[in-house]
Structure 1
């Protein structure tokens, strides 16, 4: 089966039909959420502190919603207008920007405490136009990212490398831009569960985080439930509960964002049958 990035440029591949999958396919959503939670874990942020984070290739805002759930503020950046439209329909709390990562990031120096990216980095290795040179585009992206991160920040990319040469190209350009770090491979002996994370650090060389292996699978599965338990203990409403929805809508109103009115149906669970 052909890889998505070989079928069309991202702004064309992620059209309205593809964008709808990210609100209708529960399996796709679950995988995206799990990878986002792992990426945030690899950021190694101080506990119980909100941070200002960048979501690169944010798509429909699934990874951004995970950032919200953990109490962080975020800005999303993506090249697909169709995917960003879905994010707006979902009323995500992050600010959304339309743009091409390969042309660099337009943010001020030191603006963000960290960055995450899910399934986007490999697209920069393609030359979709005659003017595209993957090496130059990767360096432009990484150098502008390095500039807009604080000097203690990390950036974590979950990606799907096509081969070892592509992975070396990415890491080489990141190091040229000033980053330290490398690739963490979770479940390296598993065909289905194997995941690649490029972990980049701004503040100097440091040991890479430990990769997950099969013996830790049970701990991985229970991660979300543990997070919900901690939230409950801290007095925070559980995700998707009525209190959680009302609190989220109130935050949007305070931010001056368009928000649907509260009704007797707000937060009510649907039966799934019509």
Structure 2
């Protein structure tokens, strides 16, 4: 991606009132967000028992991904650093509870209350040092440590990410593992430049809980491993 927004400005500045409205009014963006959110929810592998879960949407923006959670019968809390995005989410009367905050400073939520978490195109922002006080490794450590604490044991967190390079992917994954998570990367359509999507699928809990990483989708819609086999 030649014009990655995280390289242009910090998120709370990049997503100002104008950019937030433009983002939310794009039919292309709305469609992409819906598809990515549906896939993230699928990878969460929540029990199919008709019981609504309390989910966390990290980098919720104007609530596009949260609407997918609502449509699937779940309650959710949305966190974002852009006040402009949250203002639009409020205008759109999304059904989630909205919180203004910087995920790189940790999540101020009570331990064990969240049944699952998703994040669409947000976590890679933590790899940038937008301020002199920002150190990516420490911000990722604060984020994953606090996320681990607020998740119920056995819960999953699924992050759709666009790492800039292999080093970024490894940094994100390493910090997640150090926080206590188990899991790895799920790659959908690994051989397609246009359709290729990357998800970090993490499980919170002791070794007795199944932490197997799901298989990604291949070019024909069937499951495939990260190497496409």
TM-score tier by shorter-chain length is over 0.9
Please name the residue that 2:35 is paired with.
Answer: 34
Q: 1:197 aligned to 196, 199, 214, which one? A: 199
Greater shift in the superposed pair: 18-27 or 30-39? 18-27
Tell which has more relative contact order, 1 or 2 (C-alpha 8 A, sep 6+): 2
Q: Does 1:87 align with 2:89?
A: yes
Q: Distance in 2 between matches of 1:11 and 1:206?
A: 34
Greater percentage in helix: 1
Cα-to-partner distance string for 1:247-271 (whole Å, 9 max, x where unaligned):
xxxxxxxxxxxxxxxxxxxxxxxxx
Q: Distance in 2 between matches of 1:180 and 1:78?
A: 25
Which residues in structure 2 correspond to 1:232-251 (within 5 Å)?
Answer: none
Please name the residue that 2:46 is paired with.
Answer: 45
CA RMSD of aligned residues (A): 1.0
Q: Distance in 2 between matches of 1:187 and 1:163?
A: 18
Rg larger for: 1
Q: Distance in 1 between matches of 2:51 and 2:162?
A: 31
Could you list the runs of 5+ residues in structure 2 that have no partner in the other structure?
A: 223-229
Please name the residue that 2:227 is paired with.
Answer: none
Please name the residue that 1:57 is paired with.
Answer: 59
Q: Please report the TM-score for the alignment, with normalisation by the length of structure 1.
A: 0.78
Deviation for aligned residue 1:92: 0.4
Please name the residue that 1:15 is paired with.
Answer: 16
Instruction: State the SS of the aligned residue for 1:190.
Output: coil
Moved over 4 A (4+): none
Q: How many residue pairs were aligned?
A: 217
Q: Distance in 1 between matches of 2:144 and 2:24?
A: 30
Q: Distance in 1 between matches of 2:214 and 2:60?
A: 24
Which residues in structure 2 correspond to 1:208-247 (within 5 Å)?
Answer: 208-216=213-221
Greater percentage in strand: 2
